[in-house]
Structure formats: C-alpha cells, structure tokens
Amino acid sequence: MRQSKWLFPAAQFAGVAAGVACVLGHIFPFYLKFKGGKGTASFIGLTLALNWKLALVIGVLVVVIMLVIALMVSELDVAMMMGALAGACIGFLPYNFNPAKIFMGDTGSMALGGALAAGGIMMKLEFILAIAGLIYVMEALSVIIQVGVFKKTGKRVFKMAPLHHHFELCGMTEQKVVFMFWGITLGFCLLATLIMNI
C-alpha cells in the first residue's frame, strides 16, 4: 500500500501536538479541579467508550466551534490552542480507521477534555462549551442518573450507561448511534455559535 507524501510529516506534527496535549491533559485536571475542567475531561472519556468515531469526531466539531468562537471574541491565544488541538485530532484519524492501529484511550480523552475546558474557562464561556458539547453532558448525566437511581431503588433507568450503550441495546447499530450523536453535536455547535451572535 502506497502512502501519500504528506502523511508522515502530518503524523509527526500530530504526534508532537498529541504529546503536548497529553501533558496538558494531566496538568489541567489538577489546575481546573474546582473550575469544571476535570468534569469535562471525564465526560469525554465516557463518550470515548463507544469508539474513536464518536469521541474524536465530536471532539473535532466542538474544538472547531470553540476555535470559531475564540476568533469571534478576539481570544487569539485560545484560537491557536484550539487550532493545534483540531489539527492533532485530524492527524490522529488516519491511524484510527478500522482496523485501528492506535487508540486514543484515557490519556487522549483527558487531554482533549482538559484543553476544551481550559479554552472555555480562559474565554469565560463555560456555558457555551456546555451547549456545544451537550453530548458529553448527556453521556455523563446518564451515568450519574443510572448509578443514583440504582443505589436508591435497585432499578435501572437506562438499559446500560453511558447513553450510547442504551441506544445500542435498544436495537440501533453502532453506525446509527455514531451518526445520530454527530448530528446532535453539529446542531448544538451551531446553536452555540448563534447564541454568541446574539
């Protein structure tokens, strides 16, 4: 199989950016523990549980919208950080197509969540991040609700948590769940942009 000339340099850049993001992903959760960063990082980890397509593509959508919003409010430092993060995620995709050669895992999802949370906090737009990344919020809430209700009543609200597993057990294929979550994320990212324009 012949590989294109740009793939190796792009992979090197993605590797360096991912390394920096990994370091940030382990530093930011401690720094942002009381600012919401730890929760955002954990929410992305829950979304990652289905597969790369769900967490990574949703992550790219949210990162790109945060990049656009950073440019709208003239936060160039945050825009550069989001641009580098989007590039790292996109550079990771060729190595993670089926069959995957490299997996993101907790290190990648924590870095993605930590960087997104840091960007939202630096712009003082945490609420906008929660709207753009509503899938992350829904995934985390489904786990919180499932555990809380099960401890109190012994009954389950969802067939399985996080939420994407519930849809799979209801008969939806993995592909349909992924496309549905992509569509929901795209809609809420556009809504976050519209709210910023008001």
The pLDDT > 90 percentage for the chain reads 39
**Predicted pLDDT of residue 46:** 57
Element (H, E) at 89: helix 76-92
- With 0-12 CB in 10 A as exposed, 13-18 as middle and 19+ as buried, what is 155? exposed
Percent of the chain's residues with pLDDT above 70: 70
* Assessment of whether the complete model's pTM goes beyond 0.75: no
Residue recorded with tokens 């979304």 = 47
The reported pLDDT for the residue numbered 44 is 61
What is the mean pLDDT of the segment spanning 189-193? 95
Question: If you search the block for the tokens 């199989």, which residue do you land on?
Answer: 1
- Tokens for 149? 């209700």
**Tell me, what's the pLDDT at 24?**
46
Residue carrying structure tokens 């709207």: 131
How many helices (H) and strands (E) in the chain?
9, 0
- Angle at which helices 37-48 and 105-122 pack, to 10 degrees? 140
Three-class DSSP labels, 145-171: HHHHHHHHHCCCCCCCCCHHHHHHHCC
Taking 50 as the threshold, does the pLDDT of residue 20 lie above it?
no
pLDDT in tens, 82-104: 999 999 888 887 777 666 677 77
The amino acid that residue 185 corresponds to is T
Which amino acid is residue 108, in one-letter code? G
> In this predicted structure, which of 18-22, 42-46, 113-117, 132-136 has the lowest mean pLDDT?
18-22
Asked if the model's pLDDT at residue 13 lies above 70, the reply is: no
Query: Does pLDDT of 166 surpass 80?
Result: yes
Residue whose C-alpha is closest to residue 115's, from 29, 15, 196: 29
With bands split at pLDDT 50, 70 and 90, how would you rate the model's confidence at 53?
low
Instruction: Dump the DSSP string for 3-55.
Output: PPTTHHHHHHHHHHHHHHHHHHHHHHHHHTTTTTHHHHHHHHHHHHTT-HHHH
Q: What pLDDT sits at residue 28?
A: 44
Q: What SS3 state is found at 1?
A: coil
Residue 59 has pLDDT above 50, yes or no: yes
Average pLDDT over residues 123-131: 92
CA dist., res. 85 & res. 136, Å (int):
18
d(CA 82, CA 87) in angstroms, rounded, equals 8
